[in-house]
Structure 1
Amino acid sequence: MREVAPKGRGYLIVNSHPEGCAAVVDRMWQAITPREDGSAPTVLLLGASAGYGLAVLLAGLRRHGIRGVGVAYEAPETERRTASAGWYRTAAAAALAAENGNDFTFVNADAFGADAKASVLDLVAAQYGPVDHLVYSLAAPRRTDPRTGTVHHSVIKPLGEAYEAPSLEFTDDIAKVGSVRLPPATEDEREATTKVMGGEDWALWVEALAGRGLLADGFTTVALSYVGSELTAPVYRQGTIGAAKEHLEQTAATLNDTVLSGGTGRAFTVVAGAAVTQASTAIPSIALYTSLLRGVLGEDFRSTDRQAVELWEQLTGAEPLVLDGQGRIRLDGWEMDEAVQQRVRALWADPEAALEADTSGTRWFLEQVRALYGWDVPGVDYGRPVETTVTWPSA
């Protein structure tokens, strides 16, 4: 037992609160309407401890009784720091899965690595058999190419021209408008970002499953993506991240034409809506945009768990697939609605006036960021020592 306090800089907090993280997971679980449809599909979920991956996990467990394996790469407790927030969230999710009667195993490993792929697929083959759904929701700053051993680092930069735009900053929890300026990426940086965040690793997982005979009849794989507004496009969709996302989408088409051809399966990218995640907070201007969007939508801003429920409805056939002209599953219609975007554009034109007139979006955003690490969660007593040594869920 020890006392812990949030420590960090900017949007990055290095100490997590185990009970706060568990409370966040429990709140998401309770927000998902249970519905046992008896399907119990076998799922391999890559990136199961945070963001959309966690939401897909919880919605699948609670509504469809999924079984299978979730992979995440999280840090254990040290003398100086608590375990990572994802470590504590995984422990909480595993407890809920066990209570719900789900046969689900959690693996802590670098999913980019060849050894991790082999050991995870050994587990899948021995315990679960063919996989119905592979959900790819990995977000990481670096990746080691298993074929060459080269370590690639992703960058968040525009392509072609420098990017300058308003940003959101907090001083003593008070929001203010700042500015960000980023130089254009080099060709090497663009290629490295695509190596990390593109579809190469996704394809390796699908090929590995196929090579082991682990694709179930009707196999479907999806990779999570984002498009967003033209307001943030220069640093996102038209930048290095966008180049990686385009490669992800091209990979879906390639998989459908090769390893999944002839009715073997199908691959889609999923365009989700805006969300406050540990990955998204690192992208300049996204914080301001998301805060303004929340201020416009209020409670109509769709949480990750609501979007995950919608995704599972489409994947299981309960609802028809909502595809765009490029064959991508779209979950972001609520965000990209033209009337909503017009209101956000008007606020973006003078963000200082927007924040002065309405701070609801920025307050919500800061609460969401702190909750990512288990802080400021209602009902949690932060004034007493807490048990920070939590074991990773056993197989």
Structure 2
Amino acid sequence: MTARLIQPTGRGFLLFDSHPEGCARIVTDMAAHISPVTRPDGGERPVALVIGSSAGYGLAAAVAAIARYGVQGVGLCFERAPTERRTGTAGWYRTIATATLAKEAGSDLTFVNGDAFADATKESVLDLIAKRFGGIDYLIYSVAAPRRADPVTGTVHQSVIQPIGAEHVTKTLEFDPDGTSRLREISVPPATDKETADTVKVMGGEDWFRWVEALGSRGLVRPGFTTVALSYIGSHLTSAIYRLGTIGAAKLHLEDTAAALGDMLRGHGGRALTSVNGAAVTQASTAIPGNALYVSLLRGVLGDGMRSPLQQSIDLWDQLTGTAPLDTDERGRIRLDRWELDDQVQESVTERWKAATSDTIGTLAATDWFRDEVRRLYGFDVPGVDYSRPCEPDLPWPAS
């Protein structure tokens, strides 16, 4: 494949191609904002498995682990390689850049491209951990997927993002081809019982449990092992679609799984937690009806007061390693979203939500910021990158 100009074309919030140099620059820029922490005991680098390491909060967790604590281990993700017709996915290029970051930091971090739900992938990753590290200290589980094949029955379950019990009408943010923002009212039908159950099978804690169980059966869980699944609660403005909808049912299952895993790990001095993160623009979150409007309004209220996935991931690692105390709620969940759910913040966002129309949205919400953030997910609109210059998209997966 030869170098070519790569432009942001697509439909809605989905772009067809990604820009390799832009994706790489995002990773290096993230690392540049992280201050390393010296381990007080001067001991070995901690070993972690980050599942979902190429995008969103999983990527931020991987980069923060490398640049702040010199973590080594394995990153697992599921990305598409470049072809003659299309570039690789953004996660393909971000993973290449993250592997380079790890190498420069002297961190032995290997990346595996595979389906996290598949038993064959689990065996491959566990073999790698056993051979190279002998065990792990941390497992970060950050998986957002449209489907999952049950490894026992072979049944393929599809996840949906829908309310439960009744139809929900909400506002959604859209952009015209020229970048002009507008609002549209949409109606989202309720999920069936089967759709809800399928979403729990995909996005709940079943696969997380299987990973920890598999690690334990192979003797790869080190004393003091900690595992964390990333979650979200969000605002009352999005609750009908999210927390009270099918995805919320899956997140409740994830939290119940944390309790079951905690009981299982207690004999090893281990623990299992969920981390409730704050709102962000990610490839997964843009698929949630109404979320683009909500996050744009939230940014309009907070500006730079929004905490990015990277900032939240630094907070998470600081708490997990004991550099900072755990900030948990009454259910034992780590809360990284308090800035978002502050009463005054939510009151301001709610007022703007009610006042938002296509005529007023430009003054109430950070719509240009949101559009740029979506494009950045694919490596576009990244400062310092020359998009007028041809770029080589045929880059190989990092060597293990």
> Which of 36, 43, 51 is equivalent to 2:48?
43
AA aligned opposite 1:273? G
Question: How many pairs were matched up?
Answer: 393
Does residue 327 of the first structure (1) align with residue 329 of the second (2)? Answer: no
Find the aligned partners of 1:207 and 1:354 in 2 and give their Cα distance: 52
Give 1:283 deviation, angstroms: 0.3
Query: Structure 1: any 5+ residue segments left out of the alignment?
Result: none
With normalisation by structure 1, the TM-score equals 0.98
AA aligned opposite 2:206? E
> Which of 110, 113, 123 is equivalent to 1:108?
113
1:302-333 per-residue CA deviation (whole Å, 9 max, x = no partner) reads 01100000000100011111111111010001
Find the aligned partners of 1:32 and 1:366 in 2 and give their Cα distance: 26
Residues 36, 62 of structure 1: 8 Å contact kept:
no
Residues 41, 66 of structure 1: 8 Å contact kept:
yes
Find the aligned partners of 2:216 and 2:336 in 1 and give their Cα distance: 28
Give 1:264 deviation, angstroms: 4.0
2:36 maps to 34
Give 1:177 deviation, angstroms: 1.1
2:265 maps to 260
Find the aligned partners of 1:158 and 1:83 in 2 and give their Cα distance: 33
With normalisation by structure 2, the TM-score equals 0.97
Give 1:261 deviation, angstroms: 3.1
Q: Counterparts in 2 of 1:109-128, with a 5 A limit?
A: 109-128=114-133
AA aligned opposite 1:299? D
Find the aligned partners of 1:30 and 1:364 in 2 and give their Cα distance: 21
> Which of 280, 297, 301 is equivalent to 2:302?
297
Find the aligned partners of 2:8 and 2:260 in 1 and give their Cα distance: 44
> Which of 55, 60, 68 is equivalent to 2:65?
60
Does residue 173 of the first structure (1) align with residue 179 of the second (2)? Answer: yes
1:5 maps to 7
Change in Cα spacing, 1:297 to 1:333, as seen in structure 2 (3 Å) is same
> Which of 152, 156, 160 is equivalent to 1:155?
160
Give 1:74 deviation, angstroms: 0.3
Question: What SS is found at the alignment partner of 2:143?
Answer: coil
1:193 maps to 199
Does residue 211 of the first structure (1) align with residue 217 of the second (2)? Answer: yes
1:357-394 per-residue CA deviation (whole Å, 9 max, x = no partner) reads 245x1111111100000011111111121110111000
Question: What SS is found at the alignment partner of 2:329?
Answer: coil
Find the aligned partners of 1:228 and 1:295 in 2 and give their Cα distance: 17
Residues 181, 362 of structure 2: 8 Å contact kept:
no
Give 1:125 deviation, angstroms: 0.3
Q: What is the percent sequence identity of the aligned residues?
A: 56
AA aligned opposite 1:82? T
1:338 maps to 343
1:80 maps to 85
1:66-91 per-residue CA deviation (whole Å, 9 max, x = no partner) reads 01000000000111100000000000
| Structure 1 segments of 4+ aligned residues over 4 angstroms from their partners | none
Residues 256, 267 of structure 1: 8 Å contact kept:
yes
Find the aligned partners of 2:309 and 2:241 in 1 and give their Cα distance: 23
Question: What SS is found at the alignment partner of 1:278?
Answer: coil
1:59-113 per-residue CA deviation (whole Å, 9 max, x = no partner) reads 1101101010000000001111000000000001111111111110000011110
Question: What SS is found at the alignment partner of 1:203?
Answer: helix
Q: Which moved more, 1:190-199 or 1:19-28?
A: 19-28
1:222 maps to 228
Question: What SS is found at the alignment partner of 2:238?
Answer: coil
Does residue 379 of the first structure (1) align with residue 381 of the second (2)? Answer: no
Find the aligned partners of 1:115 and 1:137 in 2 and give their Cα distance: 19
1:168-223 per-residue CA deviation (whole Å, 9 max, x = no partner) reads 01012111111221110000000000000000000000000000001111000000
Q: Counterparts in 2 of 1:124-135, with a 5 A limit?
A: 124-135=129-140
> Which of 24, 27, 36 is equivalent to 2:26?
24
Find the aligned partners of 1:89 and 1:181 in 2 and give their Cα distance: 35
1:126-179 per-residue CA deviation (whole Å, 9 max, x = no partner) reads 001111000000111011110111111100100000010111010121111112
Find the aligned partners of 1:146 and 1:255 in 2 and give their Cα distance: 20
Give 1:272 deviation, angstroms: 0.2
Question: What SS is found at the alignment partner of 1:133?
Answer: strand
Question: What SS is found at the alignment partner of 2:163?
Answer: coil
Question: What SS is found at the alignment partner of 1:261?
Answer: helix
Find the aligned partners of 1:97 and 1:131 in 2 and give their Cα distance: 17
Question: What SS is found at the alignment partner of 2:223?
Answer: strand
1:239-290 per-residue CA deviation (whole Å, 9 max, x = no partner) reads 0000000000000011112x21334411001000001000000000011000
Residues 352, 364 of structure 2: 8 Å contact kept:
no
Query: Structure 2: any 5+ residue segments left out of the alignment?
Result: none
1:90 maps to 95
1:15 maps to 17
1:343-370 per-residue CA deviation (whole Å, 9 max, x = no partner) reads 00100111126514245x1111111100
